[in-house]
Amino acid sequence: MSRAFSTRRRLLSSGLQLAALLWMPRAVLRAETENLELGEARPFSFDWLVEHARVLAKRDYVPPPRPAPEIVHAIDYDAHGKLRTRPEYALWGRSGGVYPIAYVHMGRFFPKTVRLHVVDGAQAREILYNRRYFTIPEDHVAARLPADASAFAGFWIHESRRAGSWWKREPWVTFSGASYFRAVGELGQVGLSARGIAVNVAHPGGLPEEFPDFTHFWFEPCAREGDPQLVYALLDGPSIVGAYRFAMQRTRAVVMDIDCRLFLRRDIDRLGIAPLTSMFWFAEYPARDRFDWRPEVHDSDTLVMWNGAGERLVRPLNNPPRTIASSFLDENPKGYGLAQRDRNYDHYLDGVNYHHRPTGWVEPKGDWGKGAVQLVEIPTNDEIHDNIVVYWQSERPARAGDALSYSYRLHWLEFDPYFPVVDFARVVATRMSRGGIPGQPRPPGVVKFWIEFDGAILGSIPWGVRPEVVVWASRGEVSMRRAEPVWHTPRWFGTFDLTVEGRDPIELRAHLALDGKPISETWLFQLHPELLPAL
C-alpha cells in the first residue's frame, strides 16, 4: 500500500473505472423495464467474460475517462450522502429478482464510473444512466453534470423485498471504489473490506501500489430467497485483467463463492490473491499515538490462519512504527482471515459498534500450492485509514502473459469458521506489563506478556493442574513461564518474561499444552521494542 491509505467513512479513494471497450457501442435501443432504460441485448456468459478478459489483456491499457472532473470533485462527502437511489428505479425493486439493487453515484471519492448490466438467460442489457434514478435536487452540484455523462460508480444489494421497507435498511453487500467490496456480518455490522486483487502492496523497492478497477458488472436475478445472488465483474488495470463470478448468499451472515480468471499484461512482483483490508489503531497492548479516550479502536484485531499442516495460528495486529510486511510460509492453506476477536462493548465505549465488526475469512478451494499469507501493517494515527492488508502470494512469480485461476469462499462472520470449540482454546487478548515479581525490584529491560485464552477445554483442567506455557523467541531471554487462571472467569493466562535489548522487532510464538499436547491456538506476535514505555 506504500502509504496509499484507503480513507474510511469518507468512502474509498480509488474509485471505479470506465473502460473504453469497442464491443459495447453507445448507440443503443432504449426500452423500459421496471422504469429503467436499457441498452441492446448482447450475448453473455461467464465463459464469454473470461474470453473477453483474455483478449483485453493483449491490448494496451487505456486509462479510463473521468467525466466532468471539476463538478465531480465538488460532490464531497456531505453532498454525496444526499444522492440516493429512488426505490422505484432500483433494479428488481418492484418485481423480478429477490434482492433489489440500488446504485452508487459518482463523487469526489468515486471519480470513475462503472457500467451495469442485467442478465436475462444468455443475454445481457446495459442499464443506461438517467438522472431521475437518483434524488438530485435542482440546486445540487450533481445536477450540473453533462446530460450525456454516465454517473454510476458502484452498487448496493439490499435485503429482500419481503423484509418490508428495504430501501430504508442498510444493504448487505456493497461494491464501490476500485475493486473494493464488503458485506454485513452475523452481528449486523459492516467493517473490513475485501478486494478483487492486490498489486504491489508496500513494495520493498518502492514501486507504487496499483489499484485495478471493477469496470463492468452483470446481475442475474435471484429466483428464491436464500438462493445466491449472482454478480459478474470485469477487472481492468495497467498490469492485469480479470473475470470474476460472485455467488453471494444471504443467511444470518453472508457467504460468497468467488471464481476469478486472471490475465497479466506485465510482470507483477507482489500479486495478492483474495486480499482483505482493515483498520487497526490500538488495542489493549502498548501502541503508538494512543492518546484517545477509548480503550481500543480497531475493525479487526487479529490475523488468523489455518495452515496446510493443520496448525492454527493467531497473530495480534500491530500499528507499527514503520510499514512492516510479514510472510507466513505455507502450502495449500486451509484458510486465513482478519478477525475481530474482542466482542466486549466495554473495551471500545464507542457508538460505532466496533464490537460488532465482522470477521472476514478466506477459504481456498482446491490446491493453491506453495506460497505465503502476507500481512502488511502500516502506521496510522487515526481510525479513518485502512492500514492493514492480508492476502495470499504464490511462490510462483507472476509474469506477463500468465493466465491464473483461483476459487475461494469468503465468509463474513462473527468468528472464523471451522474452529474446534471443544478441544481447543482461543486467544482472546494480549497484554503486557513490567517484568519480574510485584513487590520486588523489577529487572531492567524486561517485559511480561499475558496471553489470555478462552475455551471449553480449559474448564476440564483438573484442580491443581496448570497447563504448560510453551514459548519461543527470535531473540532475548525467556523466563518465568507460568499458566494462571483468570479469576472469576473460565479463562487462563499464559505468562512469561522476555528480556528486551535493541530496537529490532522480536518474533514470538506461544501456546498452552497438557501432557505435551497443544490445547490452544499458536499465538504469534511481533514486538516492536521502540513502542514500549521505559522498562
What radius of gyration, in Å, describes the C-alpha atoms of the chain? 25
Please tell me the total number of residues recorded for the chain in this structure: 535
CB 132 within 8 A of CB 36: no
Question: To 10 degrees, the CA torsion angle through 485, 489, 490, 494?
Answer: -30
Q: Which helix (H) or strand (E) holds 176?
A: strand 173-176
CA distance linking residue 511 with residue 522, whole number of Å? 5
Q: What local confidence, expressed as pLDDT, does residue 13 receive?
A: 34
CA distance linking residue 149 with residue 35, whole number of Å? 19
How many other C-beta atoms are found inside a 10 Å radius of the C-beta of residue 144?
12
In a structure prediction context, what are the per-residue pLDDT tens digits for the chain, which is 535 residues long?
Answer: 443 334 433 333 333 332 333 233 333 333 445 689 999 999 999 999 999 999 999 999 987 778 899 999 999 999 998 899 998 999 998 888 899 999 999 999 988 899 999 999 999 999 999 999 999 988 999 999 998 888 999 999 999 877 666 666 789 999 999 999 999 999 999 999 999 999 999 998 889 999 999 999 999 999 888 899 999 999 999 999 999 999 999 999 999 999 999 999 999 999 999 999 999 999 999 887 788 999 999 999 999 999 999 999 999 999 999 999 999 999 999 999 999 999 999 999 999 999 999 999 999 999 999 999 999 999 999 999 999 999 999 999 999 999 999 999 999 999 999 987 778 999 999 999 999 998 889 999 999 999 999 999 998 898 889 999 999 999 999 999 999 999 999 999 999 999 998 999 999 999 999 999 999 999 999 999 999 887 7
CB 364 within 8 A of CB 258: no
Q: What local confidence, expressed as pLDDT, does residue 164 receive?
A: 64
What b/e sequence results for 75-111 when a residue is b if at least 16 CB atoms lie within 10 Å of its CB, and e otherwise? beeeebeebbbbbebbbbbeebbbbbbbbbbbbbbbb
SS3 367: coil
CB 184 within 8 A of CB 190: yes
**Which residue has 495460528 as its cell numbers?**
313
Q: What local confidence, expressed as pLDDT, does residue 25 receive?
A: 35
Q: What local confidence, expressed as pLDDT, does residue 286 receive?
A: 84
Residue 462, judged by CB atoms within 10 A of its CB (0-12, 13-18, 19+), counts as exposed
Q: What local confidence, expressed as pLDDT, does residue 29 receive?
A: 36
Residue 515, judged by CB atoms within 10 A of its CB (0-12, 13-18, 19+), counts as exposed
Closest CA to 514 of 497, 498, 496, 494: 494
How many other C-beta atoms are found inside a 10 Å radius of the C-beta of residue 259?
17
CA 382, 387, 389 angle in degrees (round to 5)?
160
CB 144 within 8 A of CB 79: no
CA distance linking residue 258 with residue 412, whole number of Å? 13
CB 392 within 8 A of CB 272: yes
In eight-state DSSP terms, residue 186 is T
Q: How far is CA 312 from the centre of its chain?
A: 20
Write the CB contacts of 261 (distance below 8 Å, at least 6 apart in sequence): 50, 53, 54, 242, 243, 403, 404, 405
Q: What local confidence, expressed as pLDDT, does residue 93 receive?
A: 87
Q: What local confidence, expressed as pLDDT, does residue 289 receive?
A: 76
What b/e sequence results for 214-223 when a residue is b if at least 16 CB atoms lie within 10 Å of its CB, and e otherwise? bbbbbbbbbe
Q: What local confidence, expressed as pLDDT, does residue 533 receive?
A: 85
How many other C-beta atoms are found inside a 10 Å radius of the C-beta of residue 512?
29
Q: How far is CA 66 from the centre of its chain?
A: 26
**Which residue has 462472520 as its cell numbers?**
413
Look up residue 141 and give its three cell numbers.
452540484
Q: What local confidence, expressed as pLDDT, does residue 497 receive?
A: 97
SS in 3 state form for 230-263? EEEEEEECCCEEEEEEEEEEECCCEEEEEEEEEE
Closest CA to 127 of 43, 38, 218: 38
Q: What are the strands, taking DSSP E only, across 286-415? A: 297-298, 302-306, 312-316, 324-331, 335-339, 359-364, 370-377, 385-386, 388-394, 403-413
Q: What local confidence, expressed as pLDDT, does residue 14 receive?
A: 35
**Which residue has 482478519 as its cell numbers?**
338
CA distances, 349 to each of 235, 295, 423, 521 (Å): 39, 7, 33, 28
Q: What local confidence, expressed as pLDDT, does residue 290 receive?
A: 83
Task: Go through the domains of the chain in sequence order and give each one's CATH number.
Answer: 6-413 (2.70.98.10), 426-531 (2.60.40.10)
CB 34 within 8 A of CB 96: yes
Q: What local confidence, expressed as pLDDT, does residue 168 receive?
A: 65
How many other C-beta atoms are found inside a 10 Å radius of the C-beta of residue 263?
21
Write the CB contacts of 21 (distance below 8 Å, at least 6 apart in sequence): 56, 216
CB 483 within 8 A of CB 493: yes
CA distance linking residue 304 with residue 149, whole number of Å? 44
Which residues pair with residue 409 across a beta bridge?
A: 257, 363
